[in-house]
Amino acid sequence: MYAALWRVLPGPWWVRVLILLILLTAVLYLLYFHVFPWVFTFVNPAEDSTIGSG
């Protein structure tokens, strides 16, 4: 898979590395600020904590 991605990208090796770094940054940004908070609403029950009640 990575070899196929490497062959598809245009330019010399340093341009390919730059493109991959930009793509990786974009994917991490989307995951951290959009996907993970959305998933967290389903995984974490809203305020059902028993810590401190007593």
Domain that holds residue 30: 2-41
pLDDT tens sequence across 37-51: 988 888 876 666 666
Q: Is the pLDDT of residue 25 over 60?
A: yes
Per the structure, the count of domains in the chain is 1
What distances in angstroms separate CA 33 from CA 1, 4, 40, 53, one per listed residue? 27, 29, 11, 32
Residue closest to 11 by CA, chosen among 2, 45, 40, 20: 20
Question: Across residues 20-34, what is the average pLDDT?
Answer: 96
Q: Give domain status of residue 26, yes or no.
A: yes
Half-sphere exposure of 41 (CA within 13 A, CB side): 4
Q: Give domain status of residue 28, yes or no.
A: yes
Q: Give domain status of residue 48, yes or no.
A: no
Q: Give domain status of residue 52, yes or no.
A: no
